[in-house]
Chain A
Amino acid sequence: MASTIMESLFQRTLEDLVKGLRVQMIGESRYIASHLEEIRKEIKSTDPHTKIVALQKLTYIHMIGGIDMDWAAFHVVEAMSMSKFAHKKIGYLAASLSFHDGTDVLLLITNQLRKDLGSNNEYESGLALECLSIIATPDLAQQLTPDVFSLLASGRVYVRSRASVVIFKLFTKYPDAVRIACKRLVEKLEDTDPKVLSATISVFCEMALKDPASCIPLAPEFYRLLTEPRDNWLLIKVVKIFGLLLPLEPRLSRKVAEPLCEIMRHTTAKSLLLECIRAVTVGLPDHGEGLKLAVQKLKELLMENDPNLKYLGLQALAALMPAHSWAVAENKSIIIRGLNDDDYNIQLASLQLILGMVSEDNLIDTVHVLLQYAERSEVSFCNEVIGSILTTCSRGVYELVSDFTWYTSILGRVSRIRDSAHGKEIERQFVDIGLRVKEVRPDLLAVARGILLDSTLLECPPLYRVLSAAAWIAGEYVEFSHNAIELIEALLQPRIRLLPPAIQAVYLHSVLKVFIYSAYTSLKGVYNEGLPAEQLFSEKDEESTPLSQHLLLIESEVKEVDKAGIVSEEQLEVNMTDDASMHSISIDSQKDIMEGPSLGSECEQFKRLFELIESNVGPMIEHSDVEVQERACNLLGLAKALKEALIISEGIPVFSQSSSMDNALEIVSFLRSVFGKELGPVSAFAQSRVAVPEGLVLMKNLDNLDGMFCDDEVKEKSLTPEFKTREWEVGPKSAESAPDTDSKHGESSSLLAQHRQRHGTYYLPVEKDITAENGYPPPQIVQQDIPSTSSAADDIMKLAEQSLTWSKPRQTKQRPVIVRLDDGDEDLILSSKVKRDAKDNLISSALKDVLVSGKGKPSMKFTSKEDGKSLFRSQQHDHNAVVEVNSNVSVNSEEATKKSGKRHGKHRHKTRSTSMSIKDTAGPCLNQSQGDSHNSHSGQKSRHKSRTPTAIIPQPDVIPDFLS
């Protein structure tokens, strides 16, 4: 005993702890840790006072410092069961702050809670209710529902109002409680005390938010509360409930419109006014007067210089926007000023509204205004603005954009914003517009050129994706360029090494395309201009075909290629024999002879091009990324081959320059024809439209294919031709793929073969024979590797051949103004919509399950029966003294209520509660309640008697009487 007294004497109180915490020098967490040790000892004390003070300290540091106090859960339970109110209160506080679903002692407190719920001291019941409202678990809810239920009828307002909140908590944890207690909770809507009423309506508001349909049968109750003079707290909740119910039950609107307008006209409470505006927006979209009034009031709110009202007002406007854009337009100036607001939330809301008002006519102005704001404001808002501009403009396949030249310039402008978070989207739109809108390609190229020339952009990682798109455009639409060399210079500037490898690869590929294009145009130019000179030459060289003729031949070939997409082998043979006679020749010498100024400049250009490519692409051959490496090799190989065909480094002119030029032109024009194919957008559903060949099962489980691995050899053989032709391309660069050659006979060879089929490009040929001429690789293996061997022209032809194959898919593309893949684009939108709807349904049905829980189906067949109605209508008039408990009465009682509402004020309440009880018993108790209907009970009695299982069952058909 003495020890406990000593303990309590020298124990530090909560105040000591707090004071210490404020002056401690050792760091808060260390201070708390040291105290925790003390508390651990003290809390085990047998002296209740010591224990309680320790618990109080623990609760405090739990709340302030996030210290776990699960270990003390049992001590909390002990404190809760102490008889002194002060101790008990500290115990309950600790419980409600620290208990959670995983607390194991929850099972022990059921009886304690039950005892305290039933306490004579209303504050003790209050403690237990408060605690239960937070820590309720399904088990606790199940066991304590009857206790809370009985508190609903308590004579003390303090307890009753809390009980109606807590019973709803129990519903959510233990849905079966709905059957027992819902009816009484509904009765609380008629409670004489405003506090109880207020708490109850708050609970129903939450229920309506979770599942509005289940609250529709209660609409008459809510309507009554709406029309009777009440305090604003309650009215706000009622209006909120109607805001949730009106969209579900449009027939309510006729009734509710007038009271809502009345409130809007007369209330001075802005919170209530705002709620009414919201309810009108969602619930009365066709009520002209109400809408007008709401918009008028909203305008007044927005005019007040209060950031809160502005924020909420703009949100309300946003809700109005989809259906009533006029309301938004009326407040245009306020909205635009909102863009400049200091409050980010208001800026965002304004932005959404402005973009919502955008139409084809004002798009250009709006976007300019927004961009100006964006460029001035800070990063996050700037990104927000740009993101919404991009989504708005690309909506519905750019349906708002009529001037694409303008839009590409906007994209270009947006691309320069350094901290952009939308690089990916800009990239997508650049490419997308290029593919879809043919007319805008020159502009697109101009914009891309600007982006590529701006070398500072290479230092902005967020813009790398944009650069990639620009590079792609430069390559793809180079024909609109006035200065291809400049493009190549831009694409090959040394700093592109800052880019990630994937984008460098795009750059290199674009260089290839631009290079081919410029080579093609200059060669063609040389031919056209040099024609007379060549004819002079032809005297010396009788053998050579007249150039113009040759050119025609090539062009016809190209056309053929266009049509067929494949070059027949014969043609190729022909070309190759031509190549055989190919010799290097110096154009410089030719120039000297011809003295054509254009020819000379072309020549210079070529020289420069080759130099550029050699000096910049050369180092990339050793790039660590295989994609970059490969493309660099391709490009360099092609350039070398062309150079050898056109320019002689040694300066030894060989005969027949024209034929070598011919060949060069042939090669180049061939490649040009390959790259010149127009690309079009591909539907997202393209793959799914390809019919599955008969007998091919795509969904098959491939696990049992092990047995097939025995025919490895066959597979290998069938694969080899594909690799044969690639022998020549294996330079020193392919060191990384060397090991694979041995694996042919390895165990994993079958896997490897499969792998090769997919990624064959990165593997060495399996057979070493060089039979290049006959083995033209099938499409999937095609690569554009460039040989560095001496038979350059030969190989280039081969390359052309290979490249050709992957031009095939391009040919099917169309060339409309804005290519819209109608079904494809729409389908995408549609399917996502459908999915969402389905999900919503799931959620609402799940909610209904929770609230309706295990009840039979609502008696739908009953409610809408006309004769049933009339029958009971007469009955209703007979039993002037309240008809109770009948499933059908719900229909007519409401009607009777409406009709005789004013005269029989007293009865109204009773009949209404009847309607509820009916809904409750509708399902399983159908027969019984029908029987009941013939015996008239006194209302009060039957209300207690009819404690049959009850539940709120959504019964939209119950309302018609209320509405008529």
Chain B
Amino acid sequence: MIHAVLVLNTQGKPRLIKFYYPVRAEKQQDIIRNVYKVLSSRADHLSNFVEAADIFGSETKLVYKHFATLYFVFVIDNAESELGILDLIQVLVESLDRCFKNVCELDIVFNFNKVHTVLDEIIVGGHVVETSSSEIVKAAEEVFKQESFTDMIAIALKSTGKR
């Protein structure tokens, strides 16, 4: 299964953290630091896999991809295919790209719950439930629509309050 999905920037600042098992906040930060240490020491032309036994326990691997200023990191065990997950990272980035129109780090910074929504359309409980980016975007947009519907009401309330 997938144990966690992490998005870090090249300075080591976390941009998105999602663990598929409960982890305390301090421990999360600790893990982020260790993962960043590993990733930042690797040049770009190297393989996208790193053994992560000392961070996440035996038989775990980091599968990561470096896009512009961001690292997308998936933590997986033996039940996942490394190359498959690499494709999945591509799917995630594509979906984000479609949702935000040319996604960049700032989009992820300012829309952390939207990014979570997209991610939740792909992975549930550490298992992949959807791999087609168009389906993912469709579902995510449906969720956004439902959200903004209620948001609109709130805005309307707010504006009445202003007056």
Contact = CB atoms under 8 A, between A and B. Distances in A.
Nearest to A203: B127
Interface stretch (A96-104, A109-117, A660-668, A676-684): A96-104
A233 B131 contact: yes
Given A18-B110, A130-B120, A312 B43 contact: no
B125 A8 contact: no
A86 interface: yes
A295 interface: no
B153 to A, nearest CB: 8
A158 interface: yes
B23 A100 contact: yes
A168 B161 CA distance: 48
Interface in B58-75: none
Contact of B81 (A18, A63, A168, A275): A275
Nearest to B146: A85
A240 to B, nearest CB: 7
Given A100-B23, A165-B129, A307 B110 contact: no
A202 B127 contact: yes
Given A66-B26, A89-B147, A202-B128, A18 B109 contact: yes
A99 B21 CA distance: 10
Contacts of B24: 68, 100
A312 B51 CA distance: 12
B129 A198 contact: yes
Nearest to A202: B127
Interface in B71-101: 77-79, 81-84, 86-87
Contact of A84 (B109, B150, B162): B150
Contacts of A272: 81
Contacts of A671: none
A271 interface: yes
A64 interface: yes
B161 A5 contact: yes
A99 B19 CA distance: 11
B23 A240 contact: no
A205 B81 contact: no
A516 interface: no
Chain B interface size band reads: 35 or more
B128 to A, nearest CB: 6
Given A198-B129, A209-B79, A345 B49 contact: yes
A346 interface: yes
A165 B83 contact: no
A133 B147 CA distance: 22
A68 B125 CA distance: 23
B29 interface: yes
A270 B83 contact: yes
Interface string B9-50: 000011111111111111011000000000000110111111
A84 B24 CA distance: 29
Contacts of A165: 124-125, 127, 129
Contacts of B158: 8-9, 49
Residue among A5, A130, A274 facing the most chain B CB atoms (10 A cut-off)? A130
A830 B50 CA distance: 33
A87 interface: yes
A206 interface: yes
Contacts of A909: none
A370 interface: no
Nearest to B139: A158
Interface string A149-171: 00000000010011001101100
A469 interface: no
Contacts of B127: 165, 199, 202-203, 206
Contacts of B110: 15, 18
B137 to A, nearest CB: 14
Interface string A258-275: 000000000000111011
B161 A9 contact: yes
A98 B28 CA distance: 11
A87 B77 CA distance: 34
Nearest to B48: A308
A209 B150 contact: no
Contacts of A130: 120, 124-125
Nearest to B109: A18
A491 B24 CA distance: 56
Contacts of A232: 84
A63 B17 CA distance: 6
Contacts of B13: 64
A614 B143 CA distance: 89
A837 B41 CA distance: 38
A544 B147 CA distance: 117
A308 B131 contact: no
Interface string A1-40: 0000100110000110010001000000000000000000
Given A195-B130, A209-B78, A89 B143 contact: yes
A311 interface: yes
Given A64-B14, A85-B147, A86-B147, A308 B129 contact: no
B18 A123 contact: no
A67 B79 CA distance: 32
B128 A9 contact: no
Interface in A44-68: 49, 56, 60, 62-68
B21 A134 contact: yes
A399 to B, nearest CB: 29
Contacts of A343: 42, 46-47
B79 A240 contact: yes
Nearest to A84: B150
A434 interface: no
B20 A133 contact: yes
B124 A129 contact: yes
A566 interface: no
Nearest to B84: A271
Nearest to A100: B22
Nearest to B130: A195
Contacts of A126: 120
Nearest to A312: B82
B129 A274 contact: no
Contacts of B117: 89
A440 to B, nearest CB: 38
Contacts of A69: 25
A236 interface: yes
A473 interface: no
A133 B22 contact: no
B113 interface: yes
Given A100-B24, A346-B47, A166 B157 contact: no
A209 B77 contact: yes
Contacts of A67: 25
Given A49-B157, A90-B113, A271-B81, A133 B28 contact: no
A194 B131 CA distance: 11
B150 A310 contact: no
Contacts of A5: 161
B159 to A, nearest CB: 11
Given A84-B150, A126-B120, A342 B46 contact: yes
A135 interface: yes
A504 B92 CA distance: 62
Given A56-B113, A99-B22, A162 B47 contact: no
B23 to A, nearest CB: 7
B125 A133 contact: yes
B128 A66 contact: no
Contact of A135 (B22, B47, B154): B22
A311 B51 CA distance: 11
A56 B127 CA distance: 26
Closest 7 CB pairs of A and B: A133-B125, A271-B83, A66-B29, A100-B22, A307-B47, A86-B147, A311-B47
17 contacts: A5-B161, A9-B158, A18-B109, A49-B158, A68-B24, A86-B150, A123-B143, A133-B125, A134-B19, A202-B127, A206-B127, A209-B79, A274-B83, A307-B46, A307-B48, A312-B83, A342-B45
Given A195-B129, A312-B82, 11 more contacts: A8-B161, A14-B112, A85-B146, A86-B147, A86-B151, A123-B143, A135-B22, A202-B1, A312-B83, A342-B46, A345-B46
